[in-house]
Structure 1
Amino acid sequence: MRRLTIYPMVFLLIFPVVLQAWATQTKIWMQRSYKDFSAGEAKNVSISNKGEVTLSFKLDKISDVKEDFIWDLVEDAQENLYVGTGKEGRVYRISPEGKAEIFFDSPEVNVQSLLIDKSGNIYAGTAPDGLIFKITPDKVPSTFFSSGEKYVWDLAIDDAGNIYAATGPNGKVFKITPEGAGEVLFDSEETNITCLYLRGDTLYAGGDRNGIIYAISLQTGKVSVVYDAQEKEIHTLAIDEKGNIYAAATTGAPPQPSGPGPGEKQERRSSSIYLISSDGVV
């Protein structure tokens, strides 16, 4: 019967496959380092320098600002995002819908720091002339303060409307009244004071050269050292509701596409994030 002739045909078809399976050898390999994982394409995961793979945050493109550098971002009460940029020294305003417009076109090269007060005025710290501009919500600009320095790296504001400016290259922190009158609050031994964080009556400042975190009492003017990091620069500071301090520290300049110049060595770049508890434990 025809049914009987099917079985030899099926056997002949399967037999070469079985032989091929017997001839296949199982190989085992392990991927456990950052170098192993970074050789592939990471999708929706983050890879730490220790080779740890975790789910990453979802990233959404808000807008496309056609500038070489984005230095700072702040958000107002209406959820508009303000972007400080370089090399044209512009401030962009991006609506919640993602529409970008030039909010302020400064005469400076870089807008490195931004701040918004209770009235919605924007303050822009710039380089290379160390100016702070005040721009009203309806885009009217004015020169608010001239620091006499080259860089205004960060800005902070207290409840009375006094503004604090972190500057370089002489490592000074300025206190500026709402009327624009300024004075040196702290003259450090750093090259730059790169970041500020105001909590209550204490202004925290991060330095570039010695990598020190300072605490400045706004009541007495007394300055104390919170932590001396092994890195040269304290790049940014944050403090949680319990008073724990988070500090991002780094050493070395970012690698240049052209590499180091003749006779120069590229300084090794290293970074750390420190957690300093409210009782001083690191």
Structure 2
Amino acid sequence: MIPDFHGKKITKIPELNIEEYSELTNVKISLRTTISLNNLRKGILSPLVGFNSYEDTMEIMKESRLPGGVPWSIPLLLPVENETFQNILDGDMISLNYNSKVKAILSVEEKFSIDRNKYCQKIYGTDDKLHPGVESMMKQDNSYLSGKILGISSDQEFSEFSQVDPIELRKMFKARNFKSVTAFQTRNPPHRGHEFLHKFALLTTDALLLNPVIGPKKPGDFSDNEIFESYKIYVDNYLPQKRVFLYPLIYTMHYAGPREALMHMIMRKNLGCS
């Protein structure tokens, strides 16, 4: 059967009316954070309603679960520059900005720092700075915020790619009476080994969602266009189109091994894959 949303509920965050919040303190955020905001807005990261707190982060590091027991393997953190961090107080309302555009409004509830070496050992299995996830973590200031997100802009990065809405995708599955859907996660163009997996999935489930990752990756990975254009040619010529769906997942890879594999499963579960 098509599964419930992770944590039994979808948590979509309302679209932001930017004009109402023009006078707030502006806080710069990264592209990774901007992409995470869009996935929160769409419900792809259900049951999260915002960035993880210190307590959340410690529990996820230790148990790969949220404090209530729901499986969750990589903390969703909101890093900010240390100078900005020092000037923000609990209870402040701030705007989160990327490339001089307001992306979200946050009511700050907590400021915290973490032991980043311990974090990297737990999440990535190493604190070697040659690891792309560790490198990304160590480059940012050890200053994090959490709180209530009041709204998120619908203006997304990578707008040339049509990221699917979980509710709309689930409606498509329901309209076709699909009871089981296999998701295929990839950050590479298709090859013959993939083709075997895809066709085997179509023998055992009703439909296949090809869900390549679009977004920042490590040096040496294929470009977004190379990945997605090759998949369009492949789907058009080699797969039964009534049972195959091709949509990108706009996401920043962590390269976190088994923990990232679990996160990919959670996101595809929220998209309706069984």
Please report the TM-score for the alignment, with normalisation by the length of structure 2. Answer: 0.25
Give the structure with the higher percent helix.
2
Q: Which has the higher contact order (CA 8 A, sep 6+)?
A: 2
Q: Which has the higher strand share?
A: 1
